[in-house]
Chain A
Amino acid sequence: MKVVIRTDKLSKYYGRGGEIKAVDELDLEVYEGETFGLLGPNGAGKTTTVRLLNCIIKPTGGTATVNDHDILKEETEVKRVTGLLAESPGLYEKLSAYEFLEFMGALYDVPSDVLPERINDLLKLFGLYDRRDYLLEGYSRGMKQKVLIAAALIHDPPILFLDEPTSMLDPRAALMVKDLIKKLADSAGKTIFICSHILPIVEELCDRIGIINQGRLVALGKVDELIAQTKTKSLEEAFIALTGGVEEKELLAWREHRGAGA
């Protein structure tokens, strides 16, 4: 199988002497048509990895290729073949959904004879067609998330990076996005790289999962393989075993102090 994302000792260090290791010598391969999940606690380095692979920031060490394009030397080519749904991007609130998607399409050089129809199709898919001329400032968080997913798809890229794709969606919209991701992977042959905290979604959608903690990849494999590696019973337990959690006895320790029950 063709490797479309390959990282080679990819690192991003911050601070004096590089004491903060956001991503630390990451070696990873993602195959064409695969849905890959990157799991990790807050601050583990997921978003930094996605930003590095999308040429938004530069690595301090190592390198990576995306669709055979070097992230250090072929930034523009990398950006053309990827779509990104960032974790918390700022929207242009004074644009309508249609205008925003038109802007994004133009940034990615979508031909002008294709763009209007594609925007309308995407808006219909996400149930936003009737509100396409409303300014984004009036949209709910879930609706904004849908617009951002549509923006990531606007140039129909072969590789999609989705950072917390369903975190702000209601159950019905989340289900639709899950189905869309499945369809994009199965029928359209897209390679999808998902970062999420929601374990059931990752478990359901991803062919393989990488678990990252404090910048380092601590486990990699299919769900069954991770469970077997950690000798646990579920992905949740495997995740806790690999990244650490709170002991049960500590949960109510705060009540034992004097006067806490007041």
Chain B
Amino acid sequence: MPVPKWLVVARNEYRIHTSRIRKIRPYFPIMVVGLLAVYVMFIAPGFASLFIDDFLALLLSQAAVAMVQIILFLIFIYFMIIPITETLREVQAGQLEIILAAPIKPSDVLLGEFLGEMPFYAIFVAVIAGFFTAALNPLGLDTAQITIIIIIFVVTFLSSFWIGNVIAALLRTKFGQTARGKDIGRALSLVIALPLVALIYAIQYGGLFQILSDPTTSGAVKTLLGLLPSSWGAEVIVGFANNPGNIGATGLETVTRFGGLIAFFVAVLWLGARAANRAYSLEPTTFTASKAKPDGAFYKTVKYLGGSGPFGTLLASIFKDYSRRLENLSKITYIVGLIVMMNIFIVGPQISTAPDKYAAVLPVIINQFMFPVLAVFVAGEVTLRGKESLFTYRKTPDGVERFVKAKLMQGWLMAVPIAAAVTAITTSLSPQITIISLLTNTICGSLMAAANVAFVLGLFLLNPAFSERSGKFMLNTLIVIFVSIGIFASAILVMINIFSGLEPFTSVLYFQLLQTALFWLVGIVFLSLGSRNLSRIE
């Protein structure tokens, strides 16, 4: 009897995901199950016992429903977004042709892909559910209640992961067949996480948790959260916590909420299977090829800034290649979005209570750590198009020098205006800020961003990363972050030891100037080393 096709696909997915650990592949599930058993039996109870009293007090308080609702909601959203972002980041429709040519139903492919990936993510859910059951155990829940709690976690996870997989498959078909579509996919993969980050910030810093847990308040967010399937399970869990060992006390609530959750899971499974035919298709989705418009005022200005001759054309070409990739613009949107959220949720509440004289320091500190990341997004892609594209410049007369110069200018033209605008806006949020502080902060922020671009460009040329998923790309990004931390710490040390006792405005100014100078020093060194290395890359 032939093996069911969904099982063939699931086994294939499992093999793909475990290709790095092929030698221990047969023992991997046993090892994972064993480790999880140890965790559930020993580690989770031990961990939960550290703050069991606070946790149980919270669980029996009026904030309990909101807390469990938020936990389950975050699980729901997180496991829905993961397959979508993973698919969008590397949209591959090519394999579809192999699958579609074989005698297999699309619903089997969908189910197989889902089951093949699911165990890896289920580990995280097992860890969370294990902690919850361990923490609730001292209340004296009976076996039926514990079983239902575990099922709630499992069903919430399976529903969200299934929905994520269906959406991911639909998006792969939508975007995977054209270069433009793949670019849109990669762009979406990053910005799709921004609303979730905003929600976490709002819960953590924005007082959303307090609002949700207060029974006297109401609002759209609270109503919406209560309607979501993830919240149905939360009410059951809290009901059990308040009536341990007495499942009958919450009988009607358990049947309606828990039953509703199971019905929701069955419904999304059915709908997903129905959508599978659309999700696996090679029918072209568009015939509109991207077309370049004649250069407008913007690119003419860029060309002019490059001297209007061959270098101007080179600069404009490099700029076009960068800015026509939605992926790059999405990265900038993402980092600017993060800065905005940090300023709204973290800096905003602090700034109103900070002493007048240091009001402008907080946004400056946040920007000082975010601009290097912005520089990675702007200049770190210098080698991502592969060695062949770099060799094109090596082949041309003075190509290397002109390429580095053009990339540097392109990076500055992108990063410096953003840095200037962000610094000016975030600094001006402080009601106590003076015009002089605003100006000095903006100039220093812009100079710092320019130095960051030079540093990142040099570093990524010195240690070229030819893929965003490569270890080198990650290493370079970490180096950038640690260097910026190092510069920040050095500047603090110098301020404490040499420039102590200055009045606030001067000390903040000196601090920024010192950091900017250090960034420039590092930037110039790395840029010259990177340029030299570009001629040697083989």
Taking Cβ atoms with an 8 Å cutoff, the residues of A that contact B are: 14-15, 20, 51, 54-58, 75-76, 79-80, 82, 84, 86, 88-92, 94-95, 99, 103-104, 106-109, 112, 135, 151
Question: How far is A86 from B97 in the complex, measured between Cα atoms in Å?
Answer: 7
Minimal beta-carbon separation of A243 from chain B (angstroms): 22
Flag B59-97 by CB within 8 Å of A: 1 or 0 each: 000000000000000000000000000000000111111
For B97, give its contact among A20, A56, A94, A108 (CB under 8 Å): A56
A135 and B19 in contact (CB under 8 A), knowing A86-B101, A91-B95, A107-B104?
A: yes
Question: Across the interface, which residues of B come within 8 angstroms of A89, CB to CB?
Answer: 94-95, 97-98
**Contact between A151 and B98, CB atoms less than 8 A apart:** yes
Q: Of A56, A103, A151, which one neighbours B100 at CB under 8 angstroms?
A: A56
Q: List 26 A-B contacts (CB under 8 A).
A: A14-B284, A51-B97, A56-B97, A56-B101, A57-B281, A75-B103, A82-B101, A86-B97, A86-B101, A88-B94, A89-B97, A90-B92, A90-B94, A90-B95, A90-B97, A90-B98, A92-B16, A95-B12, A95-B15, A103-B8, A103-B12, A104-B102, A106-B2, A106-B11, A107-B103, A135-B19
- Please list the residues of chain B having a beta carbon within 8 angstroms of any beta carbon in chain A: 2-3, 5, 8, 11-12, 15-17, 19, 92-104, 281-284, 287
User: A103 to B12, alpha carbons, bound, how many Å?
Assistant: 7
Contacts of A103 in B (CB 8 A): 8, 11-12, 15
What residue in chain B is nearest A107 (Cβ atoms)?
A: B102
Cα–Cα, bound, A99→B17 (Å): 13
Q: How far apart sit A84 and B103, CA to CA, in the bound complex (Å)?
A: 12
CA A54 – CA B99 in complex, angstroms? 11
Q: Give Cα A82 to B103, complex, Å.
A: 10
Inter-chain contacts of B19 with A (CB < 8 A): 94-95, 135
Instruction: Point out the residue from B17, B103, B282 that lies within 8 Å of A79, measured CB to CB.
Output: B103
Q: Known A-B contacts: A90-B96, A108-B102. Give 13 more (CB < 8 A).
A: A20-B287, A56-B97, A56-B101, A84-B101, A88-B94, A90-B98, A99-B15, A104-B98, A106-B8, A107-B8, A107-B103, A109-B103, A151-B98
B2 touches A109 (CB 8 A): yes
Nearest chain B CB to A168's CB is how many angstroms away?
Answer: 14
Residues of A contacting B104 with CB < 8 Å? 107
- Determine the residue in chain A with the shortest Cβ distance to B101: A84
Cβ of B12 and Cβ of A92 under 8 Å apart?
A: yes
Could you tell me the distance between the alpha carbons of A89 and B93 in the complex, rounded to whole angstroms?
9
Set of chain B residues within 8 Å of A76, measured between Cβ atoms: 103
Most buried by A among B17, B95, B97: B97
Set of chain A residues within 8 Å of B282, measured between Cβ atoms = 51, 56-57
Residues in A neighbouring B100, C-beta threshold 8 A:
54-56
Q: How far is the CA of A107 from the CA of B108 in the complex (A)?
A: 11
Q: Are B102 and A90 closer than 8 Å at their CB atoms?
A: no
- Which residues of A have CB within 8 Å of B3? 106, 112
The CA-CA distance from A86 to B287 in the complex, in Å, is 21
A20 to B289, CA, bound (A): 14
Q: Which of B92, B94, B95, B101 contacts A54 (CB 8 A)?
A: B101
Q: Which residues of chain A come closer than 8 Å to B96, judged between CB atoms?
A: 90
Closest to B92 in A: A90
Cα separation A55 to B283 with both chains bound (whole Å): 11
Give the chain A neighbours of B101 by CB distance below 8 A.
Answer: 54-56, 79, 82, 84, 86
A86 to B102, CA, bound (A): 12
A56 to B103, CA, bound (A): 10
Residues in A whose Cβ lies below 8 Å from that of B12: 92, 95, 99, 103
Determine whether the beta carbon of A79 is less than 8 Å from that of B98: no
Measured CB to CB, the nearest residue on chain A to B96 is A90
| B97, A14: Cβ atoms closer than 8 Å | no
Knowing A76-B103, A79-B102, say if A90 contacts B93 (CB, 8 Å).
yes
Q: CB-CB < 8 A to B102: which residues of A? A: 79, 104, 107-108
- In the complex, chain A residues whose CB is within 8 Å of the CB of B97: 51, 56, 84, 86, 89-90
Contact residues in B for A79 (Cβ distance below 8 Å): 101-103
Kindly state the separation between the CA atoms of A131 and B234 in the bound complex, as whole angstroms: 53
* Chain A residues within an 8 Å CB radius of B17: 94
Q: CA–CA, A54 to B98, complex, Å?
A: 11
Chain B residue contacts of A92, Cβ below 8 A: 12, 16, 95
> Which residues of A lie under 8 Å from residue B15 when comparing CB positions?
94-95, 99, 103
A97 CB to nearest chain B CB (Å): 13
When chains A and B are docked, how far (Å) is the Cα of A57 from the Cα of B101?
10
Q: Identify the 4 closest CB pairs spanning chains A and B, nearest first.
A: A90-B94, A94-B19, A90-B95, A107-B102
- Of A14, A56, A107, most B-chain CB atoms within 10 Å: A107
* Shortest Cβ distance from B281 into A: residue: A57
- With most chain A CB atoms within 10 A of its CB, the pick from B12, B16, B94, B104 is B12
Contact of B93 with A80 in the complex, beta carbons under 8 Å? no
CA distance A54 to B16 in the complex (A): 26
Known: A89-B97, A107-B5. A95 touches B16 (CB 8 A): yes
When distances are taken between beta carbons in the complex, the residues of chain A under 8 Å from B8 are 103, 106-107
How far does the alpha carbon of A55 sit from the alpha carbon of B277 in the complex, in Å?
Answer: 13
CA distance A20 to B284 in the complex (A): 12
Task: Report chain A residues within 8 Å CB of B94.
Answer: 88-91
Residues of B within 8 A of A20 (CB): 287
- In the bound assembly, the distance between CA atoms of A99 and B22 in angstroms comes to 11
Residues of B with C-beta under 8 A to A151: 98
Determine which residue in B15, B93, B98 has the highest number of CB atoms from chain A within 10 A of its CB, and name it: B98
Q: A112 vs B97: C-alpha distance in the bound complex, in angstroms?
A: 24
Find chain B residues with CB under 8 A from A108 CB: 102-103
Q: Which residues of A contact B5 (CB under 8 A)?
A: 107
Q: With the chains together, A103 CA to B104 CA distance in Å?
A: 12
CA distance A75 to B93 in the complex (A): 21
